[in-house]
Amino acid sequence: ISGMATVCSAAEHGARVILISASSKPVFRGGSFHSPWSKAMEAAGFKPYDVDRYFRRELSCASYNVDQDKWWKYYNHAPEAMNWLIDKMEAYGYRTTFEATNWDPDFGPMYVPVGSHGWHSTESSPVWSAPSLSAEAVSYVMTEEAKKAGVQLVFKMVAKQLVRENNNTGRVTAVIAQGEDGKYNKYVGKRGIILATGDFSANREMMAK
């Protein structure tokens, strides 16, 4: 889904985009799409939560051994991205809903602020009873939007090696991938190559990095 959202946005901004994936079709997992704020939250009557307090608690749990800049970049830009996604989902007839569990700030260490968005149609279950349906809906919409934006989707294409400039020290400019027929293809990105890894917890080499 992160790859699909990225290619949709890039294509909307005028880029010619090719997406390659090792899978045979669009894949998804999970079902919670979090943003600390959005126009849907405002319309539903929620108030923004204390992000500074919540983030500092989360960072302290990791002994601050994380890339904090990414956390704050997420916070500063997530509402813009979420509103973009909300517009697309609702244009396809999906209703925006929220996960509200332990959202009372005085609840204690299990406090989870409202911010996880989900979508369901009148034919599907609400997000809180079947979150995977929400991810399936987002995957479907993103795939359709990518096609409409002219994105070339290539499945069963496994990325094998990234190509870097300046004797493997500069920026990544291409990716070499292997197709279902065993042949290799080289995809050159004039503006860049984006690697959307998804859940790489089973990849020992990436975990080590």
Give tens-digit pLDDT for 35-65: 999 999 999 999 888 888 888 888 898 899 8
Give tens-digit pLDDT for 66-103: 888 988 888 889 999 999 999 999 999 999 999 877 77
More confident residue, 99 or 140: 140
Cβ contact 145:125 at 8 Å:
no
What is the pTM for the complete model shown? Answer: 0.86
- Residue 129 is predicted with a pLDDT of 47
Give tens-digit pLDDT for 180-204: 999 999 999 999 999 987 667 778 8
What six digits make up the tokens of 195?
């690697």
